[in-house]
A and B are shown apart, each in its own frame.
Chain A
């Protein structure tokens, strides 16, 4: 039963009201009404938001397959990060092989290793220079929580100053673990419904 039929039915008394309110067509009708009302009251934003949601799906799919890390290593974990870039493990299987030398061309900051207090402002600056949208992977115990270094010189987890998306445990995590982290980040990116916005920052 289409919308037109129901309208005719209602006006001629052939369809009774409760049955009509239960039907799927009534829901469509209500939505249409609401959308039209919003459009009348400056609803361009609503349509843009819908458009964004629509566009976000392919865009984020694309983004998730080319998460370029910035060339950045801090300690022993960086050796595993280098190893994951080499032929045996081959990070390029996941589209992340392009370690950009400039943070402005990179998408993800892999904090691979312990963050000393002296290094913290430098990392913060590198993170600030990444172009949006940007993500952070805390690789290894040190970057996640301070690891074995519970002392004055080491920042007890990089999440004390940056919004971390994925934590990769291990000391050091094997390249496979890093890949798992990267794939988890890819899933997160694909699941994002907006274009530029993440659910939580800082």
Chain B
């Protein structure tokens, strides 16, 4: 079945939750509500053999002019290995409550992808088995891919401040320590 056909059928099954179906260069995308996302993915996975989660990521639409839709989006890129069709779901996540249900129950591969999205956008995935930061360093503050995050960060990472302090203390004991003291 063509992706647009799947999208139309899915819209019949979830009439209230799919607000828009767009096609861009043959790529079909559905703008969906965040509440039934797990159910929607389950239907796609079982009934339409969309059995491969290509990618999962976040989007911050702060500076994009959109007629409708929320600030954040979680984008699910699904692929059917048997039928070779691909489909994109764009779940809307409001700024006031950035959270969405986790789909790790369907694809365990979503685990790290959701952690990454949490790490960079601060979107919380309900029911995730281990929702921790994954790429940024330990004890990182802020969500770097949000638009308000400064390019060079708001503060220096506190781990690095600690590192510099440790290095200063260690230098007393090292091979050249006496000389460092002199200077």
Verify B137–A117 contact, CB threshold 8 A.
Answer: yes
Interface membership of B136, Cβ < 8 A: yes
B171 to chain A, nearest CB (A): 5
Considering the chains assembled together, what is the distance between the CA atoms of A132 and B171 in angstroms? 13
Verify A197–B152 contact, CB threshold 8 A.
Answer: no
Verify A124–B167 contact, CB threshold 8 A.
Answer: yes
Interface membership of B163, Cβ < 8 A: yes
Interface string of A134-170 (1 = CB under 8 A from B): 0000000000000000111101000001000000000
B152 (CB) vs chain A CBs: closest residue: A152
Verify A118–B152 contact, CB threshold 8 A.
Answer: no
Number of A-B contacts (CB under 8 A): 56
B171 (CB) vs chain A CBs: closest residue: A202
Interface membership of B94, Cβ < 8 A: no
> Which residues of the other chain, B, contact A120 by a CB distance below 8 angstroms?
159-160, 163
Given contacts A197-B179, A202-B180, contact A153 B167 (CB under 8 A): no
Verify A117–B157 contact, CB threshold 8 A.
Answer: yes
Interface membership of A33, Cβ < 8 A: no
Considering the chains assembled together, what is the distance between the CA atoms of A198 and B174 in angstroms? 13
Given contacts A118-B137, A124-B163, A161-B167, contact A201 B176 (CB under 8 A): yes
Interface membership of B8, Cβ < 8 A: no
Verify B164–A161 contact, CB threshold 8 A.
Answer: yes
A155 to chain B, nearest CB (A): 8
Verify B160–A151 contact, CB threshold 8 A.
Answer: no
- For A124, A128, A152, A153, the residue with the greatest tally of chain B CB atoms inside 10 Å of its CB is A152
Verify A151–B167 contact, CB threshold 8 A.
Answer: no
Given contacts A117-B157, A152-B151, A152-B152, contact A133 B163 (CB under 8 A): no
Given contacts A118-B135, A120-B163, A201-B180, 8 further A-B contacts (CB under 8 A): A117-B137, A118-B137, A128-B170, A132-B175, A152-B153, A155-B160, A196-B176, A201-B174
On A, residues with C-beta under 8 Å from B are 116-118, 120-121, 124, 128, 132-133, 150-153, 155, 161, 196-198, 200-202
Shortest beta-carbon contacts, A-B, top 3: A152-B153, A132-B175, A118-B137
On B, residues with C-beta under 8 Å from A are 135-138, 144, 149-153, 157, 159-160, 163-164, 167-168, 170-171, 174-176, 179-180, 183
